[in-house]
Amino acid sequence: MGKVYAEITPELAAWVKAQRLFFVATAPLDRNGHVNCSPKGLDTLRITGPRSLAYLDLTGSGSETIAHVRENGRIVLMFCAYDGPPKIVRFHGTAEVVSPEASDWQVLIRQFPPLPSARAIVSIQVTRISDSCGYGVPKFNYVEDRDALIRWVHKKGEENLPDYRRKNNARSIDGLPGADFD
């Protein structure tokens, strides 16, 4: 039987921090628009309060999450246990996109390791925290983080990322404004 939490307890925080992968899901207001679900890894998540989280958004092939959050703020993060006892935890809430030009960027960015290609921080105010069994989630053994993104950034050159973002991240697949800063 699933449980609903009033806040992120120390035990839940420890469990979340031990997970190597999480998923972020958002959707546009237009019911004909595309729902998006993105996997996130590396050391990009922080618990910032008893009902708040933030993750470092790295340059990627699109900007669906940024576009959806800017349009309507709705978001859910999902974590699954791939080892140990089965468990799934979801954090539903509202989010805001914090760009490098924002006044609170410097406070938030200090909480993360320096990762190349950081384009935003997604800050989430959690409205519902729940878990479920996860009995159908397979077990996996963690081997290591991939270094492909970091190698890609070094090959492309960080100085070329603003142009890449303008070309590839300015609009969502549904045409919503995306990562239009730099």
Q: Could you tell me the domains of the chain?
A: 3-168 (2.30.110.10)
3-state secondary structure 59-122: CCCCCHHHHHHHHHCEEEEEEECCCCCCCEEEEEEEEEEECCCCCCHHHHHCCCCCCCCEEEEE
Q: Identify the band that residue 182 occupies on the pLDDT scale cut at 50, 70 and 90.
A: low
Q: Identify the band that residue 15 occupies on the pLDDT scale cut at 50, 70 and 90.
A: very high
Per-residue confidence (pLDDT) for residue 61, from 0 to 100: 87
Retrieve residue 61's tokens: 């092939």
**Mean of the per-residue pLDDT values of the chain:** 95
Contact (Cβ atoms closer than 8 angstroms) between residue 51 and residue 125: yes
What average pLDDT does range 153-167 have in this prediction?
Answer: 93
Q: Identify the band that residue 180 occupies on the pLDDT scale cut at 50, 70 and 90.
A: low
Please write the tens of the pLDDT for every residue from 72-129: 999 999 999 999 999 999 999 999 999 999 999 999 999 999 998 999 999 999 999 9
Please write the tens of the pLDDT for every residue from 47-64: 999 999 999 999 988 999
What average pLDDT does range 168-172 have in this prediction?
Answer: 94
What average pLDDT does range 32-40 have in this prediction?
Answer: 97
Pairwise CA distance, residues 18 & 89, whole Å:
13
Pairwise CA distance, residues 54 & 52, whole Å:
7
